[in-house]
Structure 1
Amino acid sequence: MGIENDYRILGISPGADQAEIKRAYWKKAKAIHPDVNPSDNADVAFVEINNAYERLVNEEKQLIPEYSFLMDLLRPETHQEKALRYAKMWQEEFRRNNESFKRSWAYLPIKIVAYFLWILGIALALTFVFGPPAVSLFHDVVTGLYMAPIMFIGVAFLFGSYQFKKQMNRYL
């Protein structure tokens, strides 16, 4: 049972080229297919023909199985595979750098400053958001309307504080 048997199953002579193998496979597959052939062993014969065809088409891998990994190395890398490889490389580098930063002397002072800036950003945001409505309570409504852009700046500060906290959690 080897390559010679596969040639015999497809009904071609040994050493046939790829086009001849393909023609013989399609001819046999049309005749033996279980949907066309009512015999009981048609499905087994069809699987046998498919296996023989696959082995003959991939003959270079079958001849030297210990070197089949070379075929994978010679295959060009797709864009998705390349992007995934670079992403894994960058993620590993980030993890290594982040671990070394957490062991350094600068980690604790930077963490304290970062939390201080985060709390300051939230305090400013809350002041900008709730300050104009409080002013409009004591003054006229027009003054409160003039201060509406300040409220939007406060919302932007809240959003920025949220994003800053997300990045702090990532790095610190």
Structure 2
Amino acid sequence: MIFWAGDGGVWFAQPGTALGTAIVLPGRMFGAGTPLLHWTSMALTQHGWSVLTASWDEEALESEPADHVVTVAASAFERASSSLPVLVVAKSLGTLALPWAVAMGLPGVWLTPLLGDASVQAAMREVQRPTMLVGGTADPSWVPQEIVGAGVRIVELAGADHGLQRRDDWRGSVLSQVPVFDAIVEFADGILVNR
């Protein structure tokens, strides 16, 4: 059973019995309702994850984007069940929470991470928990080989931009994202098995 309920910009998707909580932190232009995060949330829910999805306060983003992202992520974490595993799934702007997640010891899926950000780079070098990065070769911010150490799973889409889309090829964009959803589910299932 799935239901949605709004509360201060955060909505929930719940399986019948939750096995873990996924905190979804969207990008600035690619919110939770976009196909990439919608299908990720649906897939995770069908695999037993309760999904909390955040939204942003534009004024707060203008003044201190990283601080706001971390504040929202921490607020979502407080709503998660303390007895179940927590997984962070973030897109672009949401990946500014990566240093927080690393400090909290949380596993994460980082979609089109802002690898040019110094704090994100530093956190990537300190990752101890399962981590997956997803990006496209046509995205200028996609430079994982320069900062990622061993043990980080990388999923790379040839020709995909920062939205994980191929320019002028909607069908190719959709089809290339299906393996990303499969990889996220496999990654999330592994967290449940190895808890």
TM-score by length of 2: 0.19
Who wins on radius of gyration, i.e. which is larger?
A: 1
Which structure is higher in RCO with an 8 Å CA cutoff and minimum separation 6? Answer: 2
Kindly indicate which of the two structures has a greater share of residues assigned to helix. 1
Q: Which has the higher strand share?
A: 2
